[in-house]
């Protein structure tokens, strides 16, 4: 009986040990599986975090460079702009504001310089300027003619005799000296010489402090003058800007927001031309080294631009009708004739343009673009396989990948001095199939490659 009881106790202990071991084993297995699951989630989270950190690092580096440039500006420039932060309680407010009386300087005169040669239908351009000009004293119109074309001269005189415009003539009508092999480009040498004459007249003879430059084949939008008058002080007081342009190189009706984009403005590293404004201070810099030819491409070179930007609109405030000219209609039939002229006037004097100041603009713009989902150009074109109806980003790594995407979407795909048309930090913005689309360089992009010309 004694041994039987002992055997029962031993058997009970053995069974209990097995049950306990089974429970412990299962618990450890569950914990192991849980640890593995957590480890997988953690690794995934770490990878996502590393990607975000990498993107933020690029943004912070760019902002640090811009901040150094900003803090090195003369103290009086910063004081004149009176930058101040707006309360975080208003999420719709821009990051910075500029004192309104600085932006709304009434006394400054902004002459419109019209370059002309042998186009009698300059009448169309002058009629448009006179139709929309709100103040003849604030916006005097000066027509500078080259070529001594009699029919064109007769048209211009009909306006000057009525005291509507001031008429000046390029005195040097000699044949320019052209390098061997460039005889067919002689017209570009004459144009550069004419620009030198006309701008010297504006800033040296008439002594204006700024000028709006157009050519004799441009229509202007109803708010053309409001646009330039309201951006003048921004140009004058922000050293990171060197021009204001009325032109969007990708301004086809299919590539801009025709419903809500008439108030949109952008900064651009690409010099657009075709209706643009500069200051006397910039001319003091450019005049001594003005080129003999190809002045617009010369302006786009880094030694002239010096990392400065232009302001340009979403919807153009000028449109060219000049198919025939020195360029023999280059790009006109394929592109230029489709550029949309703004038809919904904006009173820019009532717009707060402080978000265009570089320190505010760069931070907001770059953060926005690189936070967007990445899609392919083909999906954007067909409007399929896209995540939602909001803005998206198309990434490019080389000049060729940019050109392929641009051609697919109907954009101008060329580069000048490494800068794509309308590009800002390599980013090109368009509006296609009802959504905002940004073509943007990859996040490790360090700057413009000047071999991309």
Report the C-alpha gap between 219 and 234 in whole angstroms. Answer: 25
Handedness of CA 311, 204, 295, 151 (dihedral sign): positive
Are 300 and 235 in contact by the 8 Å Cβ rule? The answer is: no
Are 125 and 217 in contact by the 8 Å Cβ rule? The answer is: yes
Residue 280: CB atoms within 10 A of its CB come to: 17
SS3 content of the chain, % helix, strand, coil (to 5): 45, 15, 40
Q: Which two tokens stand for residue 365?
A: 């713009």
Report the C-alpha gap between 126 and 153 in whole angstroms. Answer: 13
Within 13 Å of residue 29, how many CA atoms lie on the same side as its CB? 6
Among 113, 171, 173, CA closest to 142: 113
Strand (E) or helix (H) holding 355: none
Are 230 and 223 in contact by the 8 Å Cβ rule? The answer is: no
Handedness of CA 100, 103, 108, 111 (dihedral sign): negative
Exposure string of 154-166, with b = 16+ CB inside 10 Å and e = fewer, is ebbeebbeeebbb
**Among residues 65, 127, 217, 296, which one is catalytic?**
296
Give the phi and the psi of residue 194 in degrees, each rounded to 5.
-65, -40
Report the C-alpha gap between 106 and 110 in whole angstroms. Answer: 11
SS3 155: helix
Are 213 and 335 in contact by the 8 Å Cβ rule? The answer is: no
Report the C-alpha gap between 429 and 257 in whole angstroms. Answer: 11
Strand (E) or helix (H) holding 241: strand 241-245
Q: Is 284 a catalytic residue?
A: no
Active site residues: 296
């Amino acid at each position: 009986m004694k041994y039987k009881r002992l055997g029962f106790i031993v058997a009970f202990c053995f069974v209990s040990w097995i049950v306990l071991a089974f429970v412990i084993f299962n618990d450890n297995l569950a914990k192991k599986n849980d640890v593995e699951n957590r480890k997988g989630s953690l690794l995934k989270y770490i990878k996502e975090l590393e990607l975000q950190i990498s993107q933020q690092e690029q943004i912070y580096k760019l902002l640090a460079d811009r901040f150094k440039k900003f803090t090195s500006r003369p103290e009086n420039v910063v004081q004149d702009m009176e930058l101040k932060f707006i309360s975080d309680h208003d999420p719709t407010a821009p990051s910075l504001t500029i004192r309104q009386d600085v932006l709304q300087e009434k006394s400054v005169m902004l002459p419109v310089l019209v370059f002309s040669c042998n186009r009698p239908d300059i009448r169309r351009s002058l009629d448009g300027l006179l139709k929309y000009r709100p103040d003849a004293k604030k916006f005097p119109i000066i027509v500078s003619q080259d070529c001594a074309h009699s029919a064109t001269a007769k048209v211009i005189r009909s306006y000057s005799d009525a005291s509507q415009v001031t008429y000046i003539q390029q005195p040097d009508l000699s044949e320019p000296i052209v390098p061997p092999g460039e005889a067919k480009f002689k017209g570009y040498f004459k144009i550069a010489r004419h620009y030198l004459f006309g701008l010297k007249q504006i800033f040296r003879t008439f002594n204006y402090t700024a000028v709006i430059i157009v050519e004799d084949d441009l229509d202007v939008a109803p708010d053309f003058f409001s646009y330039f008058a309201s951006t003048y002080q921004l140009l004058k007081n922000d050293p990171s800007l060197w021009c204001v342009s009325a032109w969007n190189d990708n301004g086809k009706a299919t590539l801009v927001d025709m419903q809500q984009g008439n108030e949109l403005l952008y900064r651009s590293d690409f010099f657009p031309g075709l209706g643009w404004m500069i200051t006397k201070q910039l001319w003091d810099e450019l005049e001594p080294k003005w080129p003999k030819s190809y002045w617009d491409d010369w302006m786009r070179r880094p030694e002239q631009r010096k990392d400065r930007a232009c302001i340009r609109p979403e919807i153009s405030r000028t449109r060219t009708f000049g198919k025939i000219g020195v360029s023999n209609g280059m790009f006109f039939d394929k592109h230029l004739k489709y550029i949309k002229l703004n038809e919904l006037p904006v009173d820019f004097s009532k717009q707060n343009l402080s978000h265009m100041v570089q320190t505010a603009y760069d931070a907001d713009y770059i953060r926005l673009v690189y936070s967007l989902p990445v899609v392919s150009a083909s999906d954007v074109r067909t409007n399929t396989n896209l995540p939602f109806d909001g803005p998206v980003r198309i990434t490019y790594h080389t000049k060729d990948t940019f050109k392929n995407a641009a051609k697919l979407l109907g954009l101008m795909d060329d580069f000048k001095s490494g800068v794509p048309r309308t590009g800002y930090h390599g980013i090109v913005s368009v509006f296609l199939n009802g959504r905002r689309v940004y073509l943007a360089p990859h996040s490790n992009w360090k700057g413009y490659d000047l071999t991309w010309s």
